[in-house]
Amino acid sequence: MKNTKQYIISDSFSIKETLKQMDIALANTLFIIKNGILTGSVSSGDIRRALLKEINLTDPVSTIMNASPVYVNEVFEWDIVKQLFIDKKISAIPILNHSRQLIEVILRKDIFEEKDDIHPQINLPVVIMAGGLGSRLDPLTRVIPKALIPIDDKPIIEIIMDEFHKYGMKDFTISLHHKSKMIKAYFQEHESNYHISFIKELTPLGTAGGLKSLQNKIKTPFFVSNCDILVKTDYSDIAASHEKGHYSLTMIASMQHHIIPYGICKLNKNGSLKNIDEKPEYDFLVNTGMYVLNPEVLEYIPENKMFHMTDLIDTLKQNGHNIGVYPVSEKSWIDIGQWEKYRESIHQMNSLLKDPV
């Protein structure tokens, strides 16, 4: 029997505390126990919907929990459990005794090998923006483009592509500028089941400018990702949320929790001290660098001009388009674009890739 404590929370937990525990446990689902009895479950999807409804993160988790979670009794058949994971699209199932006390948790990864796990197949095009200088990783990127920076035995761009492929996506366009020949050479020398095409930016066009060349070529919604980040979540659910919300563009955002390790001085208008806020905590939704776009938004990108994704978002908003936000947890997003983050991400990436969504 595994240690189930990390998957259990009290009904007195706040939503914020629950989100932290999910990151600690690397779990998408936790179970609420009151007086030793299972009373509900909460998933990352429940928290995501709460964030979008602007529910206060200090509210108790009981306000958003599922009061009728899927479970099995002590005597069960593994085939039934496997089918429950597939039919219910859940990541964990508790085992209860006759008194509804939780005695163990079965995780999806306990049932499926990563290669055998069944993800909904959506087969949308993917664009990876790999033309940047990678200045945050200087001097490494003077020698090697950031897209080819290795995590163990693979470059980050290939790890990104592999993650998309789990959801049926194999049509990739890579936008190039800095050290473009090295990136092309890598894919020419390595056999792949992916269909890969390239956009060559003669001058740097920012995080969105290179997408202009795809206008009238892409007919469906498509993903865009920076080449130095990985988001580990359900890509099919992102696509469904984008479609359901009738969004022109959806930004994938990571919930970040920060503690200022000092007392923050607040002043009166005359400059005297009003009070000190000791080690305040803040929560933010941070842009990860991954998006879903509808093809019609490409008409708003100017030709051969520096144009960032933030410029495109502002332009779309000014023209009455709906912009969606899809929140993911803090540890679902890895950014290797800084030296210290690169070192941290090697361990984090290995841990995250071993835990299927």
Residue 348's pLDDT is 60
CATH H-level, domain 126-353: superfamily: Spore Coat Polysaccharide Biosynthesis Protein SpsA; Chain A (3.90.550.10)
CATH for the stretch 5-111: 3.10.580.10
Distance (Å, whole) CA 283 – CA 57: 9
The residue ranges of DSSP E strands in the chain, in sequence order, are 8-10, 29-34, 37-43, 72-73, 92-96, 102-107, 126-129, 150-151, 154-155, 171-176, 195-200, 222-226, 229-231, 249-259, 263-267, 273-278, 281-293, 323-328, 333-335
d(CA 332, CA 329): 5
Domain-wise residue ranges, the chain: 5-111, 126-353
Is cis: bond before 261, omega within 30 of 0? no
Residues 6 or more apart in contact with residue 187 via CB below 8 angstroms: 174, 196
Residue 192: per-residue pLDDT: 82
Q: What are the distances in angstroms from CA 131 to CA 145, 174, 225, 239, 282?
A: 9, 8, 12, 25, 33
pLDDT tens string, the chain, 357 residues long: the values are: 456 889 999 989 999 889 888 888 878 899 999 988 999 999 988 988 887 787 888 899 999 999 999 999 988 898 999 899 888 888 899 999 998 899 999 988 788 766 555 678 898 999 999 877 666 665 666 778 888 888 778 889 999 999 999 999 999 999 998 788 998 998 988 878 899 999 998 888 999 999 999 999 999 999 999 998 999 899 999 999 999 999 999 999 998 878 899 999 999 999 999 999 999 888 888 999 999 999 999 999 999 999 999 999 999 999 999 999 998 888 888 887 655 555 565 566 566 555 555
The rounded distance, in Å, linking the Cα atoms of 76 and 53 is 38
